[in-house]
Amino acid sequence: MGDSENFVIVGAGMAGAKGAEALRNQGFDGRITLLGDESHRPYERPPLSKEYLMGGAEFDSAYVHPESWYADNDVDLRLNTSARHVDRALRRLELADGTHLDFDKLLLATGAHPRSLPVPGHDADGVLQLRRVGDSDRIKQTLSGIEHLVVVGAGWIGLEVAAAAREAGVAVTVVETAELPLLRVLGREVAEVFAALHRDRGVAFRFTTAVDEILAPSGKVTGVRLTDGLEIEAQAVLVAVGADPDVQLATEAKLRVDNGVLVDATLRTGDPNIVAAGDVANAFHPLLGKQIRVEHWANALNQPAVAASSMLGGDRTYSELPYFFTDQYDLGMEYLGHVDPDGYDEVLFRGDVEAREFIAFWLSEGRVVAGMNVNIWDVGEQIKTLITSATTVDRQALEDLSVPLNEHIAR
């Protein structure tokens, strides 16, 4: 690769910044242009619903690189800059200001954007979402001046903000269409753990219902009306009903799109000059044998090295197991693996579920397909080995704390 080549990265989040870093680490000495539509240089998003929101960390700790890193590594970081069209034939990017940028290789790291709630009152003062640092700042400020928050959606973001609100002394009601929080992600057995965790901290749940209207008679939130007719008073509403991959550029460029930009295990799209990584990439996973899109920090951290390799003509594949973590109240957990709601036969627990110090294992046909360690640490490699070995496990040994995880299992 010569120094006359220009590699362009669209999306200056974690995946974009790590893509630029990986290109330099892998020896690319051409031009790198990194485009981001925010005013902040690339930062990590997990603190926005965790430490930063709770006031336990300054925002500076969330930046992916020091400010000087981009100049030191000759990365042309352009903030407040968005792209609106990709001309694949000319290998040219049209920017929102009407200018053009030619590229030899293009990395799409456009991420995802939160879904809105299409009900009356959705644009009222006091309706909140969480994706960017400004959103987190607004939530933090709001929590300091209200008595009651309604959270719509019992996924990870909704529950983490609910925990932050309770720690701030705010009453919280969570509205969820399913029967339990995280039911579609974790299944009933482990979803019950998170329901109990939040109930113990005073969170009220309204399951199997939805918000019919956000009440705001004078333009400011006063509560919500649910589809079952119940009205709940509140001074703010957090909408946390999931996110959609930002595929606008890819769609207009006629790349293959299906719940994200479809890429192979090398993170290449159907165009040999374009790759994708992070929240927007729906990648074929060689260990799982199917396409998956995962909206978690670990993908944004680790996928870009593979994307950079592909941009440089390499043949590396991305086979890391999906990983995510959460911190809510005094519960910390890590999750490894991937399992669909109907993709497991049973969940085995190793440890004390009531004390919330345990490991949960999702089994399919006697093999571990996912594992979650709750308030138990330094077991990630053992869990990963159990999953990747794809061996049938001894159920009793798996549950028995006296049998070490790295010894027990194949039968």
| Residue 341, pLDDT score | 83
Number of H-type helices and E-type strands within the chain: 11, 26
Q: Residue 51 and residue 84: Cα distance in Å, rounded?
A: 34
DSSP class of residue 153 equals: -
- C-alpha distances in angstroms, 334 versus 155, 243, 383? 15, 21, 11
Look at residue 383 and tell me whether its pLDDT is greater than 60: yes
Q: Both tokens of residue 92?
A: 């040219």
Nearest by Cα to 152 from 220, 225, 211, 236? 211
For the chain, the first-to-last Cα distance in angstroms comes to 51
Tokens 């941009």 locate to 311
> What pTM does this model have?
0.94
Checking if the pLDDT of 409 tops 80, the result is no
pLDDT at 342: 86
Q: Which domains does the chain have, with CATH numbers?
A: 6-113+244-311 (3.50.50.60), 127-240 (3.50.50.60), 332-399 (3.30.390.30)
Report residue 29: phi and psi, to 5°. -115, 15
Q: Per-residue pLDDT for 76 more than 80?
A: yes
| Cα–Cα distance for residue pair 13/275, rounded to 1 Å | 16
| 48 Cβ contact list (under 8 Å, min separation 6) | 62, 130, 131, 132, 133, 135, 136
pLDDT tens, residue by residue, 238-294? 999 999 999 999 999 999 999 999 999 999 999 999 999 999 999 999 999 999 999
- Provide mean pLDDT across the span 227-232: 97
Distance from C-alpha of 286 to C-alpha of 289, rounded to nearest angstrom: 5
DSSP 346-410: EEEEEEETTTTEEEEEEEETTEEEEEEEES--S-HHHHHHHHHH-PBB-HHHHH-TTS-TTTS-B
At 405 the pLDDT is 86
